[in-house]
Amino acid sequence: MLQPRPSALYRLAQILRVLAILALVFLVLFLATVAYSAVEMGEGIARQAGSLQHSDAATLVGSSIVVNVTFPIRNDGYYNVRSLTLVAIFTNESIQSAPIALTETAAPVNIPGHGSSVVTLLTDFDVANPAGPFLLLNDANLNGTLFLNASYAAVIPVNLEVGFHYHWGAPFANLTYAVGTPTPESNGTIAVPVTVSFENHTPGLSAAGTLNVVVTESNGTLCSRQSYPVHTSEGPVTLMETFYAPESCQLSGATVASTFVGSGFDIPLPTETIP
């Protein structure tokens, strides 16, 4: 006996059922591969978290030392990463409890699947904040947190939080200051040599400023006040200047106080006593 032919509506329902099952299978596979790829990308970023480094010469902008910091990112997943942005917080609780610097990407970045890119973070170290004097004179290991936001596989938002370490190089590290032996001049003045030495550990940073020298007799009387233009570059720096005091000054036991004045910051130098 012949079976009745299924109606067209029944056949359509069967086809839709099969398509729904296939769509569900593809959706599960898609989400599984997205999850796997996102984890792979996150682990790659975590592995690179120690690779923060200077990219370009640091610059002085007002009271801030602006450093471009690069961070390599590899997308080991299958899908494209779009509109990726990074925000980083630099901290060191032994220096100050508040963040020392905040930074973010200059512009969103797109990275293809199995591709890589280098993201630049515009980092502003404000030396006018409470940590400024320490950062000007001392190298420091800074801790940080990197926050990543992106769109993955076109529709999946990705948010990651990764810790990192960053080595700060001070522009006036290992600062020393010495006053030489006064020497009488034929014009009735006394020449006193001053030597300032330090190491500029901020990559590519050059700083222009003024060395202000004030000499005060042991009784508190002002003896001399002079200024010298100074320009420093990266690496070891030695400034050798000579100030001149009137012959009437009692230089034996007098104190020499100096300050390096830059654009938006002052570096008080150690006070020295003339023998």
In this structure, the answer to whether residues 44 and 154 fall within a common structural domain is yes
pLDDT reported for residue 117: 85
> How many Å separate Cα 149 from the centre of its chain?
20
pLDDT(2) > 70: no
One domain for residues 137 and 247: no
Does residue 95 lie in a domain region?
Answer: yes
Q: What is the pLDDT of residues 63-90, one digit of tens each?
A: 788 887 777 788 877 788 888 888 888 8
Task: Give the end of a domain, one of 168, 196, 214.
Answer: 168
Q: Which residue, 168, 183, 213, sits at the end of a domain?
A: 168
Please say which residue of 168, 193, 217 terminates a domain.
Answer: 168
In a domain, 30, yes or no: no
- For residue 97, is it within any domain? yes
CATH number at residue 89: 2.60.40.10
pTM above threshold 0.75: no
User: pLDDT tens digit string along 108-150?
Assistant: 888 888 888 888 888 888 888 888 888 888 999 888 888 888 8
Q: Are residues 203 and 143 in the same domain?
A: no
pLDDT in tens, 210-266: 989 899 999 999 988 889 888 888 889 998 888 888 888 888 889 988 888 887 788
As for how many domains the chain has, the answer is 2
Q: b/e map of 173-191 (b: 16 or more CB within 10 Å)?
A: bebebebeebeeeeeebbe
The domain of 117 spans 40-168
Residue-level pLDDT at 138: 92
**Same-domain pairing of 47 and 105:** yes
